């Protein structure tokens, strides 16, 4: 068999959607696993909607995911150009060949005429099909239409008796009756080609052996096969992967939240987690394994293990998987990854010594599911002692009665006396104090945490106290003692209304 050549062919009309990213990934895995070639082709024939910005964004997302291409924009290759718009002459040449061999014909029907026929079909409650009026035009009629100055499109002459079978590597054989297809238009009035024509021409020219793409293209495939046959080419193999749905089973759209790869990058997800998650979204290995390195995916990926039915995108599972990959990073890597999120949240970290930053990230530990989580778990370290926010939910939960407030005022003296102010001494002194007080550990530690961080979640409190330092802890306790009585009444009031 010829060596595998696959392509990912995005239209540069937006960002890289998760579903398209998965299509790119399946092509890439297939190529890498088979020792083949992965090509990036830009389907930019729609010059109204194609933009440079979108192209940059798609390339950036692919590169971030690690799905680098062997041929295509930026890297070249000997089957280019890899921008469809630059292949216009070739498309026109093939269209002329089809016209010259009688496999396609000019259609002079006007928009209005076609619209009237469509409406007629609707009135008769039958599906509209082009009636083939221009199939058999005489020379005279053609000249008459030309003289009238009518615009003309080009239609493929489809043998209505035929049947097209797509031997899909994921879905199995899918048969389509040719008479449901119509003599469809593939060249616009300006002799510009439409997608169903450009795609098979470019696939053939680029020596594509397998077209792997979403099931939304299934209806295009029989038409593209017809072009291959009409031009005397062997069609590539096809594999249509299932769509990506939301948890309710509907097409994943912007209404469901973030759907672009770059959104996930900006939210602090890791490319290896995205790749793992997207692969598992429709493909499964032999067993129950969920976590796959890129190399394992390359080694194990086969099209026959891709599912047929739509996959459901579960952000929680992705977050869980991301937490796994974050956990595999060294503290230094996590610090590098999390830093930009702290900066973006307005925290000044440039003057914080590196070892302190790393100790903070280390203390946050496996609570970091995405790098953006650092802001929740550690943002208060970088906020002035009189400016961190008290989370209303934390106040509501941990400052229900006066006991919590008295913890905050009472512990001050103990903390002030801790010397040296290191982890072991802090823990020992605080525990001793709690024991003496005779209260449940959590109902003492949590109010202190909320008082000095404003949050009810975070690293171990003893770590937090040590990392803040004695002066900051005391300043924060004083602030809490002064402000919380007012705030907790408010929080109570709010809870009373809800």
Q: Which residues contact residue 123 at a Cβ distance below 8 angstroms, ignoring those fewer than 6 apart?
A: none
Residue bearing tokens 């020992």: 428
**Total residues contacting ligand GLU (rule CB under 6 A)?**
7
Angstrom distance (rounded) from CA 200 to CA 184: 15
DSSP characters over 318-373: HHHHHHHHHHTS-HHHHHHHHHHHHHHTT---TTS-HHHHHHHHHHHGGG-SSTTH
End-to-end CA distance of the chain: 69
Burial of residue 398 (CB within 10 Å: 0-12, 13-18, 19+) is buried
* The binder of ligand GLU chosen from 217, 251, 324, 359 (CB under 6 A): 217
Angstrom distance (rounded) from CA 37 to CA 31: 6
Confirm or reject binding of residue 10 to ligand GLU (CB under 6 A): yes
The residue among 16, 9, 25 whose CA lies nearest residue 54 is: 16
Distances in Å between the Cα of 16 and the Cα atoms of 57, 263, 281 are 7, 10, 17
Confirm or reject binding of residue 43 to ligand GLU (CB under 6 A): yes
Determine the distance from the C-alpha atom of residue 63 to the mean position of all C-alpha atoms in its chain, rounded to a whole number.
Answer: 13
Contact assessment for residue 454 and residue 390, using Cβ atoms and an 8 Å cutoff: yes
Which residue lies nearer to ligand GLU by CB, 22 or 213?
213
Q: Report in angstroms how near the CB of residue 16 gets to ligand GLU at its nearest.
A: 10
Q: Report in angstroms how near the CB of residue 68 gets to ligand GLU at its nearest.
A: 19
Candidates 8-16, 275-283, 318-326, 474-482 — which segment interacts with ligand GLU by CB under 6 A?
A: 8-16
Candidates 4-12, 253-261, 279-287, 326-334 — which segment interacts with ligand GLU by CB under 6 A?
A: 4-12
Residue nearest to ligand GLU (CB): 43
Angstrom distance (rounded) from CA 498 to CA 486: 19
**Which tokens hold the place of 486?**
């007012």
Which residue lies nearer to ligand GLU by CB, 195 or 390?
195
Q: Report in angstroms how near the CB of residue 386 gets to ligand GLU at its nearest.
A: 53
Q: Report in angstroms how near the CB of residue 128 gets to ligand GLU at its nearest.
A: 25
The length of the chain, given as a count of residues: 498
Apex 49 CA angle, 45 and 54, nearest 5:
95
**Which tokens hold the place of 351?**
């003057």
Which residue lies nearer to ligand GLU by CB, 9 or 321?
9
Options 254, 308, 356, 440, the catalytic residue = 254
Confirm or reject binding of residue 12 to ligand GLU (CB under 6 A): no
Q: Report in angstroms how near the CB of residue 9 gets to ligand GLU at its nearest.
A: 4
Residue 254 annotated as catalytic: yes
Residues 185-214 that bind ligand GLU (CB under 6 A): 199, 213
Apex 239 CA angle, 236 and 242, nearest 5:
155
Residue bearing tokens 């709690």: 434
Candidates 3-11, 96-104, 268-276, 489-497 — which segment interacts with ligand GLU by CB under 6 A?
A: 3-11
Which residue lies nearer to ligand GLU by CB, 11 or 430?
11
Candidates 9-17, 69-77, 285-293, 465-473 — which segment interacts with ligand GLU by CB under 6 A?
A: 9-17
Residues 442-471 that bind ligand GLU (CB under 6 A): none
Q: Report in angstroms how near the CB of residue 156 gets to ligand GLU at its nearest.
A: 17
Which residue lies nearer to ligand GLU by CB, 41 or 280?
41
The residues that touch ligand GLU, with contacts defined as CB under 6 A, are 9-11, 43, 199, 213, 217
Show which residues are catalytic. 254
């Amino acid at each position: 068999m010829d060596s595998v050549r696959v392509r990912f062919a995005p239209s540069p009309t937006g960002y890289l959607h998760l579903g398209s990213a998965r299509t790119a990934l399946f092509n890439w895995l297939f190529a890498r696993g088979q020792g083949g070639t992965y090509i990036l082709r830009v389907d930019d024939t729609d010059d109204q909607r194609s933009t440079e910005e979108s192209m940059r964004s798609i390339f950036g997302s692919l590169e971030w995911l690690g799905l680098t291409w062997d041929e295509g924009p930026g890297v070249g290759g000997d089957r280019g150009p890899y921008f469809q718009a630059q292949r216009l002459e070739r498309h026109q040449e093939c269209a002329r060949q089809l016209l010259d061999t009688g496999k396609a014909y000019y259609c002079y029907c006007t928009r209005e005429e076609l619209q009237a026929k469509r409406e007629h079909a609707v009135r008769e409650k039958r599906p509209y099909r082009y009636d083939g009026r221009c199939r058999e035009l005489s020379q005279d009629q053609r000249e008459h239409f030309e003289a009238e100055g009518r615009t003309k499109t080009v239609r493929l002459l489809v043998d209505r008796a035929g049947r097209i079978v797509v031997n899909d590597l994921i879905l199995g054989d899918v048969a389509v009756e040719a008479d449901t297809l119509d003599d469809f238009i593939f060249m616009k009035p300006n002799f510009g080609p439409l997608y169903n024509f450009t795609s098979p021409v470019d696939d053939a020219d680029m020596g594509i052996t397998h077209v792997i793409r979403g099931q939304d293209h299934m209806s295009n495939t029989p038409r593209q096969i017809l072009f291959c046959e009409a031009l005397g080419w062997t069609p590539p193999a096809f594999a249509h992967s299932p769509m990506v749905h939301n948890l309710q089973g509907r097409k994943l759209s912007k209404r469901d939240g973030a759907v672009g790869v770059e959104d996930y990058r900006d939210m602090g997800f890791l490319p290896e987690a995205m790749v793992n998650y997207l692969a598992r979204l429709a493909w499964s290995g032999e067993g129950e394994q969920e976590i796959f390195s890129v190399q394992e995916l390359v080694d194990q990926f086969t099209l026959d293990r891709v599912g047929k039915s739509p996959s459901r995108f579960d952000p929680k599972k992705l977050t869980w998987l991301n937490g796994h990959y974050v956990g595999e990073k060294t503290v230094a890597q996590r610090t590098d990854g999390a830093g930009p999120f702290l900066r973006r949240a307005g925290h000044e970290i440039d003057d914080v010594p590196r070892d302190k930053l790393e100790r903070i990230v280390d203390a946050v530990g496996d609570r970091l599911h995405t790098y953006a989580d650092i802001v929740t778990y550690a943002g208060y370290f970088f906020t002035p002692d009189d400016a961190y926010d008290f989370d209303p939910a934390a106040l509501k939960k941990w400052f229900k009665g006066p006991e919590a407030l008295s913890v905050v005022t009472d512990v001050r003296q103990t903390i002030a006396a801790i010397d040296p102010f290191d982890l072991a001494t802090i823990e020992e002194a605080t525990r001793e104090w709690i024991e003496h007080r005779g209260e449940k550990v959590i109902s003492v530690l949590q109010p202190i945490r909320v008082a000095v961080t404003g949050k009810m979640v975070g690293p171990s409190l003893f770590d937090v106290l040590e990392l803040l330092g004695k002066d900051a802890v005391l300043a924060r306790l004083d602030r809490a003692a002064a402000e919380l009585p007012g705030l907790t009444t408010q929080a109570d009031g709010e809870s009373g209304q809800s």
